[in-house]
Structure 1
Amino acid sequence: MWLLAGAAVLAQSVRGRVTDVTTGANLPGVSIVVVGTTTGTTTNGQGEYTLRLDPGSYTLRVSFIGYQTETVPVQVTAGTTATVNVSLRESLASLNEVVVVGSRSTQSRTSTETVAPVDVIQSRDLQATGQVDLTQQINFVAPSFNSSRQTIADGTDHIDPATIRGLGPDQVLVLLNGKRRHNQALININGTIGRGSVGTDLNAIPATAIERIEVLRDGAASQYGSDAIAGVINLRLKERPGTTVNAQLGQQYAGDGRVAQVGVNHGFKIGNEGFLSLTGEFRHRGATNRVGDYTGPVYVNWNVGRATGETDAAYVARRRTLYDQDQALIRQNNFNLSNNMQIGNSQVDNIGFFLNSRIPISAKAGFYASGGINYRKGKAAGFYRYPFQTAQVIAPLYPNGFLPNIESTINDQSLLVGVNGESNGWRWDISNVFGGNSFRFDVTNSNNASQFAQGASAQTSFYAGTLSFYQNTADASVAKDFGSQIGLKSFNVAFGATYRYDMYRIKAGEEASYRNFAPDAIPSRIGGSQVFPGYQPANAVNANRNVAGAYVDIETDINENLLLNTAGRYENYSDFGGNFAGKLAARYKFTDAFSVRGTISNGFRAPSLHQRHFSAVSTVFVSTGQSVEPRQTGTFRNDSPIAQAFGVPSLTAERSVNYSVGITSRPVSNMSITIDAYQIDIRDRIIYSNQFSRGTSGAGLIVANILNGAGQQDVNAAQFFSNAVNTRTRGIDVVIATSPRLNRGTLDLTLAANVNETRIVGAIQRPTNLPSDAVFGNFLFNRQDSARLTSAQPRSKISLNMNYRLNKFGAVLRFTRFGEVLTLDPANPLLDERFSPKLVTDFNVSYRILPTVNLTLGANNILDVYPDKLSKNLYPTPERFGAAVLDNSSFGRFVYSRAATQFGFNGGYYFLNVSASF
């Protein structure tokens, strides 16, 4: 709505203030444009603006992200000045927002008008979640997006894997201001969601710097290149002038996991059209711990196997004797069985700075830049090393065992620079973005057991090496709409070229972090730092590759009803060859209230440099179906002689075919409905194999001979990356949003849901030189690996969000239902687990205590809901010493599953948030 000093404004100078119609708050950064001209301005930090115009009749268009656009007629005459105050109303749950991702057309389209589904998430929606990490904020506002924090997973404890539509973290492409964002340095090789994949570290971007997020839920490799199989996440940085401050304090109901966060963004105007936006943010997240009581051996290992020829009675008696000895030592040393591990969130301190800028260099061209740096320190624990584990513990140094820590140092940086403009109707853009991520491992409170001769003076802290990944991407593009020339509403043609240079490095750790100083010791001792053996000189790598690509994209409104889009892209990789991707999409509008849309495309994901060149030796805890035991496991490069001896072929690209069909509807003016069904077929998915273990016969003997021949006598098992499986994912996305008009307040209602199912189709491709082995099984891809791809993420997520505002008061109530998840044991079906759906409730209330300051008090998971507990805790007790050992919780320490997590297991969290805009 708008308010004028009369029926028309007679002025040579026009000035005024723009406010929120509901709260009355000033709105900085609002765009005021004189329709039909290049004249315009934006409001300052107090929501004020000034325009100087020649005499004449004009129309002002007042627009702001998240609000309905208003137009104001103005008659300008000489010698007068008048005030035009404008009040804007928030738009319908962001569904009326013009989107950028997914189209290169000059035509403005909202998310209900695009050929593919796009979620638009505003910064206020992110803040309303009460979360501080960007991945968790998106997790609670975008049902197709999933991200859960991991535990006891080495480096993955410090970087949250994030997925779309139940696929892998490396099958979603992240853009920042429309440009490709670099991947993280860490490759997920533990038993977590996204095992074997390389994602993008979203938490390296301050949430305070984000204006909005666009989530394209469709295959887009033909438009944006490799990785965009499941979709694209485009992060748009803030541009508005003024200052915003956001601060939060909170903690879990259990009393741990304390959070402190403060973010500041300040925007400067540069001339009439330019801006500079600066952001700084600090986040502290304390560790959480939901460990259970330990029931296993501590000082004496009573969990032993039956001796040859031993009778049942003798076996039970021997185990009971050992158990009694262990219990006596536990009491004597006052060993704490209730709190000897840390199972939960890692501790993280995160500080980041970002900038976003645009400076006009002519009437039709401008220079732009964005980028930032992020520094993160993390600390997470591994498995406790108990005194009876003499191969891993130096007794004089740690007589009661020890809990080792992995301390991470993560550095992330990026810089985008570019120029764009318009010449003779051609829009052009030239840019270059450089980015990098490094992950340093330090191990503390540990030992190298092969240094046992040093006793209590043995080393306890180790530098274990550094991973790093850097990427430089240059691109140039042009586009022009020929619609008026050929008699169509629009006929936009865009084409461009890109050149990318990728670099991946592994730096070895210090010698003591990986070396076995006593390989012939009796009893045997494991070399290297416990919890995370350092990268060895043989693992060090400095790899790179070049990627050249070109694309063409055509989008046309054939008439008022039919919209067509087609795109094609070819990319050539210096390390494995080329790939072509194409897309055809259409939308038909039957009426203003109902449209049908659909797409068909093929896509690809190139193997990452990490997957091609990563290698390491690590201690992996493996379920044997009877117990959880540590193994020294080697990951060998895909092109290594060992991989070739196993018959593992060279990596090639994953290839996909995407189908989607959907409807969009506006049955009434204040309601939007989108329903989209999809199928994604992926062949040659790259997986991280399970362990090929040593043995004395069959495949096990082949493994032993290969490892011994390569000088890997200390390695118990081998792993590789391989194109091994094909999958089919089917699902449906539903978003229903409405803003019923109330007498005094404003209520936004959004119901959103994603339901999906992934199945493995076809045969699993085994290494050609290993026979099928009934004893050792299919270690390339076992039952546990299959479940991790198909059922470890919720197959459904449904959220109902209610946001009410009345004058200075506001309230948000959110219900999120996380669907069922399932885990399969690699060897024993009796240890399979099924975890039922759970409903998580978030609630907060806010009050604007000053015109520029808002106070929010709330709780996430207000009812303190936890996932189902593990049920297969059949570990031995004195009453069951004759029974088989069935332990899915590692002798009671794991109360909740770490292999499949719906929303974490930290319980309720309450917080106080203060935000201000100046």
Structure 2
Amino acid sequence: MKKFALLLILLNVSFIFAQKQVSGVVKDNTGNVLPGVNIVEKGTQNGVSTDMDGMYTIKVKEGATLVFSYVGFSKLERAATDAVINIVLSEEGGQNLDEVVVTGTRTAPRSNTTSALPIDVLSAKDLNSTGQASFDKALQYKIPSFNTVQTPVNDATSLLDPYEIRNMGPSRTLILINGKRKNMSSLVYTQTSPGRGETGSDISAIPTDAIERVEILRDGASAQYGSDAIAGVMNIILKKNTNYGSVTVRTGVTSEGDGEMLGVSLNNGSTVGDKGFVNYTIDFSKVNLANRPGKVDAAAEADGNTGFGAPLADVQAFLAKYPDAGNINGSPETAAAKFLVNGGVNYTENTQLYYNASYVYKKVNSFANYRTPYWRTLDEFPYLLDLFGDGTNPSSYVGYVPTFTGDLNDYNATVGYKATKNEWNTDVSITTGGNKQSYTVSNSHNRSDFDGDPATYDFVYGGLSPISFRPGGTSFNHIVGNLDISKAVSDKISIGFGSEFRTENFEIIAGDEASYFGVGADSFQGNTPENSGKFNRYNLGGYFDVAFDVTKDFLINGTVRYEDYSDFGGATVWKVSSRYKFLDDKITLRGSLSTGFRAPSLHQIYTQKSQSSFEAGGAIVVTGLINNVSSAARQNGIPKLDSEKSKNLTLGFGLKPSKDFTFTLDYYNIKVKDRVLLSNEIAFELDQAGKPTNKQSFFVNGMDTKTSGLDVVANYRNIELGSGKLGFNFSGNYTFVNERDGAVKDPQSVKNLTGALANQTIIDATQEALLFTSRPKFKYILGGDYEVGKFGFSLNNTVFGPTKFKNAGMSDDLRIEFLTKVVTDLGVTFSATEKLTLSLNVNNLLNVLPEWNFKAENAAGTALINNAVAIKEQSDLITFNQRYSQMTYDGYHFSQLGTMFNLSLNYKF
């Protein structure tokens, strides 16, 4: 702590040498105050921004010159000769804050409504206005094509939720921090949930208060940025403000009185010497468990088909005391500590050193399904009385609930150098980042028995099993070197070219022996030593980009890129985009055509997790996930993975009839060839009784897919109403097509299986539903905000369209559909003083919850729905006997927590 305090003193030492204080207010030419205007002491990094009332205060040296700049207005310089300097900025020659973007081009920045590509821009104010506790959940209620939500059954998935843009999975959106690639998570999703078989970056780890704005490119960009950009790119721009700071305290609770949240965040900035700056953020938060269990059906529990075949009287006696069967499912308990710093030094007007770094620690506590005394019985496992009872009285054993604790460490850092010489712009940087997850399973046991005789437990496990396990974990890190060079060759042609070198390392960390022996720890088996190890690869890529302004209205942009991977070879991709403006830039037509690729991740190539269990008669059954480079894969004829290839088409237009009204509409069409998928379990052998055995799943280039849809964004602001101003926003995403393109690409070895092993396929209806229909068919956001005096009000309605599932275990004649629902969010902001702001958000104001129904696929399905007994059995199968009655075991729609109240206090200093 002493070192940290000393660091803060050094970072702020420049204030001691300031000799003069200047203050004032900045307005536009209509008399409206302008919050967020940048004021910088010329020739230095000393700067501030105006507050919500357009006011500023800055300390400068004698004889200094102040530079006032704001996107949307012309830059203005003023000598700091007076103590009070009020400024009026002109809009001539400027562009609005939410229109200038740096993402999507390797040459000069363009404006949003006149760019050749569809790009969303969200400011820090936009993110904070949602009242959501994390960055990814804020995006959920701001970007229609972005979807994420917590899964009903968590385990390792509780550490970070799968997200995606345009229904393309989490691994096809590239995440950038200040334009540099962020590391992926080490977790690969293997559960039956959206995102299965994929991985992505942990964007929830990024503190919202460190973000200046977010630019989301909704278009394939592999040619510009490399692998993982098939669906688009999210570029997170960090804050750079200096000379002031703020502290934010947040708290919240659900309407059920659980899920309590408390967080505190510090963001501060300072000059470093005369030419440097630093901005840093420290964020601590804690969110308690929010539990939404269902009421368990006793008859279904006792049934031999849907349940455990237990005596109904025993089940009823237990459920009389515990109607939810002890189950805990909902939103897990999460604690997080986040640290981030962003800085730079301008050595001259044409040279700059820049850097940023972050570290995040998260700890998540969640629960497996409760093992009831009629599920794990004393007759079958008599030692449970010692582990989870008093050792003598059988009635003291009431079952147990295994706990799952995940520890996540995520870091990334970039240092770079920019220079301009003879109008050539050079940017060289190196980035490192990593993610490590380790797990602990407690209140559990390993029920394996060495000799296979349930009457005697004479080995180290069974009766002598520990109740706490360390099943291992995963780790991923990369090092990325970038060189980017650009130049405006003439007033019409700009070029950019560069290269990237990246090395990646993935590790599967072995668990302790008790966690993986036999069937392993009950609820979560550990990683075996033979399935663990360290794996790496490298790739080298290069690109060339040219932008040609044929006229001031007509732009053509082209990019070509080549990448070579050490493990699967090379790929060449290209992109052409164009836009045409007319009617004084009021209308813009735009479009792009591109090819793309995504390299299979190291996680998909090397993840392996197999389990051994005993069958009657002593036969050993091996099930689990085998990797594509293993001997088992070779024996079973599983091919090695290749890269995915894509073709992207985008067509759209933008309207800006006035400075206060903008409208964009974009159609997209994405085709992916050889999409990497996690297969079903396939049986390649028969046991002595002639039954399929040794079932294994694996990653495979399993199918081609096609996705198309429409994005719309409209904003109308500065409508005078009374003494305040009103603004409206509407945005939406509608999916036309999201489906398999052609037949499933079963490996030849699977096609060749005969007899009892025939007719297996790597992808079934459940997996296809997770891929294509598990996200809303459409999603719209309609809202308005009104600012008057010291108050600000916002009301947003998010329409979540229907989702469809084919849950595992249910009849092929049925599907389930989550109904279209509207979630309403209310926000109220009060600027009590120039420095103190209070914000209240009521999310899901009307307590709208997901709702699903059975739908028939055919006449047999209709008959099932009309049969009360049969349809009840189907319902029990997919909800685990009503434990997950609201969301079903595999599916979800949006948050199941209902209304949430959030209050925040922000103090500027």
Q: After TM superposition, is the score higher than 0.5?
A: yes
Q: Superposed, which structure 2 residues align to 1:98-137 within 5 Å? A: 98-106=100-108, 108-137=109-138
- The 1:80/1:131 distance shift into structure 2, 3 A limit, reads closer
Amino acid at match of 1:721: F
How far apart are residue 767 of structure 1 and its match?
A: 2.2
Where do 1:130-529 residues align within 5 Å?
A: 130-241=131-242, 242-296=244-298, 302-303=303-304, 325-328=311-314, 330-331=316-317, 335-390=321-376, 394-396=383-385, 397-398=387-388, 399-450=397-448, 458-483=465-490, 489-516=491-518, 527-529=519-521
Aligned equivalents of 2:118 and 2:885: distance in 1? 39
Q: Residue 457 and residue 337 in structure 1: after superposition, are their counterparts in 2 closer, same or farther (change >3 A)?
A: farther
1:728 aligns with 2:706: yes
User: Displacement of 1:285 after TM fit?
Assistant: 1.5
Provide the C-alpha distance between the structure 1 equivalents of 2:666 and 2:97, rounded to a whole number of angstroms: 15
SS at match of 2:710: strand
Structure 2: gaps of 5 or more residues: 1-19, 389-396, 450-456, 614-620, 856-860
Is 1:740 aligned to 2:718, yes or no? yes
The equivalent residue for 1:767 is 747
Q: Identify which of 636, 653, 665 aligns with 1:663.
A: 653
Give matches, 1:818-829, under 5 Å: 818-826=800-808, 828-829=811-812
Distance of aligned partners of 1:244 and 1:98 in 2 relative to their CA distance in 1, 3 Å threshold:
same
2:57 matched to 1:48?
Answer: yes
Could you say what secondary structure the match of 1:222 adopts? Answer: helix
Q: Distance in 2 between matches of 1:119 and 1:23?
A: 29
Structure 1 equivalent of residue 393 of structure 2 = none
Contact 1:18 1:43 in 2 (8 A): no
1:473–1:881 CA distance, 2 compared to 1 (3 A): closer
Write the distance in 1 (CA, Å) between the matches of 2:756 and 2:90.
Answer: 68
CA distance, structure 2, for counterparts of residue 411 and residue 856 of structure 1:
31
For 2:781, the equivalent position in structure 1 comes to: 799
User: Would the aligned equivalents of 2:824 and 2:843 in 1 still touch at CA under 8 Å?
Assistant: yes
* Counterpart residue type for residue 906 of structure 2: S
Q: Give 3-state SS (helix, strand or coil) of 1:136's partner.
A: helix
Q: 1:576 to 1:850 in 2, by over 3 A?
A: same
What CA deviation, in whole Å up to 9, does each residue of 1:510-532 have, x standing for no partner?
0000113xxxxxxxxxx310111
Offset at 1:616?
0.8
> Residue 152 of structure 1 contacts residue 380 of structure 1 at CA under 8 Å; is this kept in 2?
no
Contact 2:807 2:890 in 1 (8 A): no
Partner of 1:43: helix, strand, or coil? strand
Q: Distance in 2 between matches of 1:587 and 1:612?
A: 40
Question: Deviation of residue 268 (structure 1)?
Answer: 0.5
Q: Which moved more, 1:492-501 or 1:862-871?
A: 862-871
Q: Deviations over 1:181-205 (max 9, x none)?
A: 0000000000111100011100111
Deviations 1:479-515 (A, max 9, x none): 11111xxxxx331111111110100001110000011
Counterpart residue number, 1:710: none
Local SS of the residue matching 1:135: helix
Query: What is the RMSD computed on CA atoms of the aligned residues?
Result: 3.4
| Contact 1:251–1:911, Cα closer than 8 Å, also in 2 | yes
Which letter does structure 2 place at the counterpart of 1:491? I
Matched residue, 1:714: none
Q: 2:601 aligns with which of 605, 608, 611?
A: 608
Contact residue 61 and residue 70 of structure 1 kept, 8 A: no
Aligned to 1:645: 635
Asked whether 1:63 is paired with 2:69, we answer yes
Aligned residue pairs total 841
CA separation of 1:93/1:113 partners in 2, compared to 1, >3 Å: closer, same or farther?
A: closer
Structure 1: which 5+ residue stretches go unaligned? 1-12, 306-318, 484-488, 517-526, 621-630, 708-716
Asked if structure 2 preserves the Cα contact closer than 8 Å seen for 1:870 and 1:888, the reply is no
Q: Could you tell me which residue of structure 2 aligns to residue 713 of structure 1?
A: none
Query: In structure 1, what is the Cα distance between the partners aligned to 2:873 and 2:144?
Result: 44
1:267-306 alpha-carbon deviations (Å, 9 max, x no partner)? 00234553101100012122222211122579x964159x
Distance of aligned partners of 1:841 and 1:773 in 2 relative to their CA distance in 1, 3 Å threshold: farther
Listed one character per residue, the Cα deviations across residues 454-502 of structure 1 (whole Å, up to 9, x for unaligned) are 777641110000200010001111111111xxxxx33111111111010
Pick closer, same or farther for the CA change 1:455–1:570 going to 2, 3 Å.
Answer: closer
Please state if 1:576 is matched with 2:576: no
User: 1:860 aligned to 843, 854, 864, which one?
Assistant: 843
Q: Residue in 2 aligned with 1:547?
A: 539
Q: Match for 2:883 among 893, 910, 915?
A: 893
Contact 1:617 1:632 in 2 (8 A): yes
Q: CA deviation at 1:557?
A: 1.5
The alpha carbon displacement at 1:884 in A equals 8.6
Quick one: distance in 1 between partners of 2:218 and 2:446? 48
Report the TM-score when normalising by structure 2: 0.86
If the length of structure 1 is used for normalisation, what is the TM-score? 0.85
Q: Using the alignment, how far apart are the partners of 1:332 and 1:226 within structure 2?
A: 53
Amino acid at match of 1:473: V
**Correspondence for 1:750:** 729
Which range moved further: 806-815 or 599-608? 806-815
State which drifts further: 342-351 or 331-340: 331-340
User: Hey, what's the Cα distance between the residues in 1 that align with 2:296 and 2:607?
Assistant: 35
Distance 2:404 2:570 in 1: 39
Distance in 2 separating the partners of 1:760 and 1:688: 15
Kindly indicate whether residue 778 of structure 2 is the aligned counterpart of residue 780 of structure 1.
Answer: no
| Structure-2 separation of matches of 1:89 and 1:821 | 48
1:16, distance to aligned residue in structure 2 (A): 4.2
Match of 2:17 in 1: none
2:893 maps to: 902
Q: CA deviation at 1:593?
A: 0.6
The whole-number CA distance in structure 1 between the counterparts of 2:27 and 2:317 is: 67
In structure 2, the partner of 1:673 is 663
Select 2:528's aligned residue among 536, 550, 554. Answer: 536
Cα deviation per residue 1:822-843 (whole Å; 9 max; x = unaligned)? 0013462244101111100000
Alignment partner of 2:384: what SS? Answer: coil
TM-fit CA distance, 1:407: 0.6
Task: Give, in whole Å, the separation in 2 of the partners of 1:751 and 1:870.
Answer: 29
Q: Residue 520 of structure 1 aligns with which residue?
A: none
Structure 1 residue 636 corresponds to structure 2 residue 626: yes
Partners of 2:727 and 2:786 within 8 A in 1: yes
The 3 A distance-change label for structure 1 pair 760 and 701 is farther
**Conserved in 2, the CA contact under 8 Å of 1:93 and 1:737?**
no
1:758 is aligned with what amino acid? N
What is the alpha-carbon distance in structure 2 between the residues aligned to residue 589 and residue 268 of structure 1? 42
Q: Which residue of structure 1 aligns with residue 8 of structure 2?
A: none
SS in 1 for 2:291: coil
Asked if the contact 1:867/1:905 (under 8 Å) is kept, the reply is yes
